[in-house]
A and B are shown apart, each in its own frame.
Chain A
Amino acid sequence: MNKDTNKGYIALLGWSLSAIEAAENFDRRYVVVAPDWAEEYCTKHDIPYVPWNFERLNDRSMEIAETLNEMGVDVAIPLFEETVEWAGAINSLLMDKPRLYGQSLLLRDKALMKRRAQLGGIRVGIFEEAHDKGDVIRFLKRVNQTLLKLDGDPNDPIHLKAFDKAGCLGHRVIRTPDEVDTIPDEEFPVLMESHLDGWEFAVEAWIHNGKIAFLNISEYVTLGYSVFVPASPELESYRPQITAQIEKLIKAFDIDFGLIHPEYFVTSDGEMYFGEVAYRPPGFKVFELLERVYGFNAYQASMLVFDPKTTPDEVKAFFPREVEDAKCYAGCFGVYPRRRVVSRLEIPEEVEDDPYFESHELTPPMEETVTKRTAFGTHWGLIYFKGDEAARMKELLKNMEELDFYV
């Protein structure tokens, strides 16, 4: 696509083919910042590229910011959790706004982020940092005492998450003190949270000039397994409250532009609890789902709102109307093998024959023995569905959990 030199010049932090493809097809000039293993591929395919290994921030970190500055880059967009603070550091130099770096650190640490949210008047569950197993056992006991459980009653679970990892990575559910022993020491420190019974959902909000440009609600059918967009009419009925929550979040974190991806619970009494927020594209291919539903490319949407040279009119013209303009419901399901030993991939007939079934990204098994899942683990691939009814989509996605894709 022809590049418009009057518009911003964008650096993509991290390696994502979908993002590169979107950038290729967008009118902004761009450059990919990725580890040096990407160099050969980029040279071969003529992809603009600057090598950088994203390890911990250190004394040399200014180098990449200066390189990009010299190239005339206007903004850096983080594509992965690990590049969020890099983007903050780089953008604080490119835009001469030192505050951006601090903001990115807040967004990278789950404990800090919860405190900040709390200070901003947002409801969060009970949480604490744990430095060892003793902390976990204490927290589990205290939470259940608070809930007025008696000895012998089944405990309410608590959740353990790494401070700075994306999504379900390192996410564990602990119910009894025995289970605490299964946590390897190297996972500490971790963030502990009380369990909230409720309806969990996520939001993708594109923010421009401190205002919401587009707000999508992604409905989880089962956390870690399935998600669909737009949310069902029942969840969408909370849209005004959700929008208000996001506005609070924008204020609390002082977010002027970019894409945020927070998670919430709605409890049975309609109260919203903040889970966490990420300053990067969501996992689980929600971007792909949005493209199927609305037809716009969500990576391009991010480039648009990050670019300081974008005008409000351009933003207005880019985004469709939420829910109203949705062509269908699109959902995906992450497949985990259910058997201990598998020999081949076989999509169940009932899935394949379902008119909602669109495509899958599953590959034949590499190994016959399935490693036991610790924590939430990673799925083996996604299956995509598309259809006209939210209820049917929800039921379908739920049913998937009972099926064997690897036999």
Chain B
Amino acid sequence: MTTHRHTQEISGSPAGDDKLQGLLVKLDEATTLLAEARAFTKPTKLPRVLDTARRVLMQEGGAAEVEARSQALEEAGIFTGSDWETPQYLLPSLTTHALKSADPNMVVIESLSELRLVAVAKGEYLHPLISAEQAHHYLTQVLALNLWLLFSTPSEAERETQGRLAQIPRNLFRHLADRIGYEHIIDKLIEEIWRILQQRPIQVDSVKQMITQIAICQADPSIDLGLSGQGADRLVSSLFGPTQACREDPGVEIYRERLSSMDSSALQSEATGFARAMHDTGLASAYHPVLLRHLLDHGDHLVAEALGLSSTGRDCLLCYRELVHALIRGAVHPATPQSVYGLALMLERGILYQPPVAPAMWRQLGLSLSEWSKARIELAYGNEVSPRARLLEGVLCMLGLPLGVGQGNNPTCQSARALSMWAYNDPDYLLQMVAWAARDDEIIMHFEGMPLSSMASLEGVAKELPVDLDPVSLLVVPHLDRIYAEMGRRCIGRDGDPHRWVNPEFHGWWSGRGFRINVDVATGQLHDLDAFLRHFYASYHPYYNGNQPLIHPQPAGIAVTDSAARFIGWHAITVLRVTLDPSDVMRIYFYNPNNDSGQDWGDGIKVSTAGNGERFGEASLPFEQFASRLYIFHYDPLERGELNKITLEELDRVIGYIHRSWGSDRIPPTELQADQGPAQA
């Protein structure tokens, strides 16, 4: 095991080294005690490990030593029962808070988790839940979000709250940068930011933070970034100075003054500049709302220009002029710049032409929020603008970017998928849900004729109320989650998988009532693969279904695997389109409520998010690769395709993928048994 010591520091001297070695002996002792402890006494052994680790991390070279022990530490159980136990769900944006905490244990456990992921990213620790690539992505984002830790000494505030503890995150980050690679770190960050932005998420706060960090480093003369960071200009300018009149980031007030003295050609050029920056990146600057509000008095031509609308969007704007103006007044503020982007894309989608949508938007404009809803929004977003404006921004963004919905750090993929599906396919229904949740604190859905109230069933899939969500999800998901869980409870005791009944009732009538699953619920073994795949091909593959493009988005379940093709868990997604990609490969385009769709599922299956004909927010895979990770789908039994036309070779290729990945330990003892009759469980 190599240790990375910083030669520029004298404290790597023998004395310091002795001290580190002494502490490491103590750390190993404490770790062994924890590892050998029974589950029920682990909590009592944990403080000693954390405290000793803290002292090790304070030492020069301590981070490297802890990294080398990270697998042993994790196996001993330091993360057991905490959020860090499931690294695949960790959110990079939460690290900043944890590392700034005054609680030593918080700082230490966060650092231990980071160091463990370095070992994973370097391939030295094969982790059962997270792949090397995921770990690498995560760490790059963590570095990006916390660049200040690399380049600054502790501030007065940090010293006040953390004392000597403030040294730990700095030691940690120097080590991370060493391991992940110092010189290109900024470039990798920029790449990472673009990769995320290409998926056009609704929530861009963490992306904005990363860009801000880069901007701060670029502006600081004491930081030498060398040649790196060139590609950040578009990102930084889109946030802080997209146009001529705000190039030097003068502040909102000064910009407003400048606008008042501009003629229409100057305004025109401002409008074009903003629109270009916004559509390039998916990010809107805080100056953009200032301009847009100013332009309300200067004609719709300029408004359309500032939104960057095509002829479709412009038509929609002109048709619903009053409504759009009201939406701008109500939702577009310097504190809610993404509302501009949401509005622009919503107009482009033309959904206002569906009769119920415009009136529903008027209701949304005047909606009075319950005290609970207001409090939840203020808790999550502060009170810079009114909760109603914040929610309106969220509504515009969700309707403009239905595939940008993310589940955050919560096990609520089903609810996120439903919201996305409604925004995509049934926008007025979504608006109805928002009104019920935000105004009435209650949603009632029906399951097989029985009304289910979100207030009556107390427990959802998620045990805690989420806060890391967009405004619409923030208010609606807790209700949906409880209803979803209740629908599941109503299916207890039925033979087979509950999704068969729950999905159509929960998501909408268009979810096919035909249902296939390739896993035997009772045994977990693969079941009837051949028929499962034939039905899938015959329903979804244009070559076998009479060249019928998919009509409605369909819920489906996938077996997620990591980059080593090991099974990670079941996950809900939406199948959106099936069509030939630019290189004539039949592809499935789908929506993944997970916050980042770009994933490596192993065995050569890499989910693509751009470059293969994807629209913003879509993920895609070649048809057979997708089929190999599918375990549940719905279809319309009356629209059956040609089951027999599908060649055995094609199916064998898919089955090969399954057997090499999540199905490897689910192959039933003999195929005969698996073929006997319908599902028994």
Contacts and interface: CB of A to CB of B under 8 A. Distances in A.
B164 A360 contact: no
Nearest to A41: B40
B17 to A, nearest CB: 13
A17 B41 contact: yes
A49 to B, nearest CB: 12
B38 interface: yes
Interface stretch (B45-53, B529-537, B659-667): B45-53
B40 A17 contact: yes
A355 interface: yes
Contacts of A353: 19
B164 A349 contact: yes
B26 A358 contact: yes
A344 B164 CA distance: 13
A360 B54 CA distance: 12
A20 B40 contact: yes
Interface string A233-262: 000000000000000000000000000000
Given A355-B22, A359-B52, A21 B163 contact: no
22 contacts: A17-B44, A18-B41, A18-B44, A21-B37, A21-B38, A24-B38, A25-B38, A41-B40, A44-B40, A45-B38, A45-B39, A45-B40, A47-B40, A346-B163, A349-B164, A353-B19, A355-B19, A355-B22, A359-B30, A359-B48, A359-B52, A361-B47
B55 interface: yes
Contact of B51 (A21, A346, A360): A360
A325 interface: no
Interface string B101-124: 011000000000000000000000
A344 B161 CA distance: 10
Contacts of B51: 359-360
Given A349-B164, A359-B26, A344 B40 contact: no
A31 to B, nearest CB: 15
Contact of B41 (A21, A358, A364): A21
Contacts of B37: 21
A21 B36 CA distance: 11
Contacts of B102: 344
A364 B26 CA distance: 23
A368 interface: no
Contacts of B103: 364
B40 A352 contact: no
Interface of B: 19, 22, 26, 30, 37-41, 44, 47-48, 51-52, 55, 102-103, 163-164
Interface in A41-56: 41, 44-45, 47
A352 B22 CA distance: 12
Contacts of A349: 164
A17 B44 CA distance: 9
A353 to B, nearest CB: 8
In order of increasing CB-CB distance, the 7 nearest A-B pairs are A45-B40, A359-B48, A21-B41, A24-B38, A17-B41, A21-B38, A359-B51
Contacts of A364: 103
A88 to B, nearest CB: 29
Interface of A: 17-18, 20-21, 24-25, 41, 44-45, 47, 344, 346, 349, 352-353, 355, 358-361, 364
A20 B37 CA distance: 11
Contacts of B26: 358-359
A330 to B, nearest CB: 13
A139 to B, nearest CB: 43
Nearest to A407: B163
Nearest to B49: A359
A47 B47 CA distance: 23
Contacts of A352: 55
B25 to A, nearest CB: 10
A44 to B, nearest CB: 8
A25 B39 CA distance: 12
B102 to A, nearest CB: 7
A25 B163 CA distance: 41
A18 B38 CA distance: 11
Contacts of A346: 163
A21 B26 CA distance: 22
Contacts of B30: 359
B547 to A, nearest CB: 57
A117 to B, nearest CB: 36
Given A45-B38, A359-B26, 10 more contacts: A17-B44, A18-B41, A18-B44, A21-B37, A21-B40, A21-B41, A355-B19, A359-B30, A359-B47, A360-B51
A18 B51 CA distance: 20
Nearest to B44: A17
A42 to B, nearest CB: 9
A186 B522 CA distance: 64
Contacts of B38: 21, 24-25, 45
A344 to B, nearest CB: 7
Contacts of A47: 40
Contacts of A360: 51
A25 B33 CA distance: 13
A172 B72 CA distance: 48
A329 to B, nearest CB: 16
A37 to B, nearest CB: 15
A359 B40 CA distance: 21
A344 B165 CA distance: 13
Contacts of A359: 26, 30, 47-48, 51-52
B77 to A, nearest CB: 14
A361 B45 CA distance: 10
Contacts of A358: 26
B76 to A, nearest CB: 15
Contacts of B19: 353, 355
A344 B22 CA distance: 27
A359 B44 CA distance: 13
B165 to A, nearest CB: 10
A28 B26 CA distance: 31
A321 B277 CA distance: 79
Contacts of A21: 37-38, 40-41
Nearest to B164: A349
A364 B22 CA distance: 26
A100 B37 CA distance: 35
B111 to A, nearest CB: 17
A294 to B, nearest CB: 15
A346 B39 CA distance: 30
A141 to B, nearest CB: 49
Contacts of B47: 359, 361
A360 B41 CA distance: 17
Contacts of B55: 352
A47 B41 CA distance: 12
Nearest to B165: A346
A178 to B, nearest CB: 43
Nearest to A24: B38
Nearest to A352: B55
Contacts of A41: 40
B167 to A, nearest CB: 12
Contacts of A355: 19, 22
Nearest to B102: A344
A44 B51 CA distance: 28
A241 B148 CA distance: 66
Contacts of B39: 45
B645 to A, nearest CB: 55
A21 B38 CA distance: 7
Contacts of B40: 17, 20-21, 41, 44-45, 47
B179 to A, nearest CB: 27
Which residue, B39, B41, B52, B164, has most C-beta atoms of chain A within 10 A? B41
A355 B22 CA distance: 8
Contacts of B22: 355
A25 B249 CA distance: 66
B27 to A, nearest CB: 10
Contacts of A45: 38-40
A63 B30 CA distance: 42
Nearest to A22: B41
